[in-house]
Amino acid sequence: MALIDIPNQKLEDLVTFPALIPVKAVSQKNIAEHEFRAAVFAVTRELVPVFLEEHITIRASSAGSYFSATLMVTFEHVDQVYALDSALRAHPLVLRVL
């Protein structure tokens, strides 16, 4: 179950904010790594102003067609979790958010 599947109140009951929560995003096929990194960083930084690019880990798929980004984000409140999830899902370079 993804974080987005947990109702707001339930997530607040499970997590004490501020909280460090990993977020994973998968790129669309055949996107350049630097372009994907820049996109997920920009989206995350807009919603979590203290987020640093060094908190992104990128891994290529075995065929090199996709990239996955793990973002270690310190969220100040539950609304940031849902806002980031929605923003990443809406981005054209992002295929999936876990």
Q: What's the CATH code of the domain at 26?
A: 3.30.70.260
Residue 9 lies in a domain: no
Residue 26 lies in a domain: yes
The pTM of this model reads: 0.87
Residue 5 lies in a domain: no
Q: Report how many domains make up the chain.
A: 1
Residue 41 lies in a domain: yes
pLDDT of 13 reads 81
10-residue block means of pLDDT along the chain (98 residues)?
58 88 96 97 97 97 95 96 97 97
pLDDT of 6 reads 56
Which domain covers residue 58, as residue numbers? 15-97
Question: How far is it, in rounded angstroms, from Cα 85 to Cα 25?
Answer: 9
pLDDT of 4 reads 57
Residue 88 lies in a domain: yes
pLDDT of 48 reads 97
pLDDT of 1 reads 47
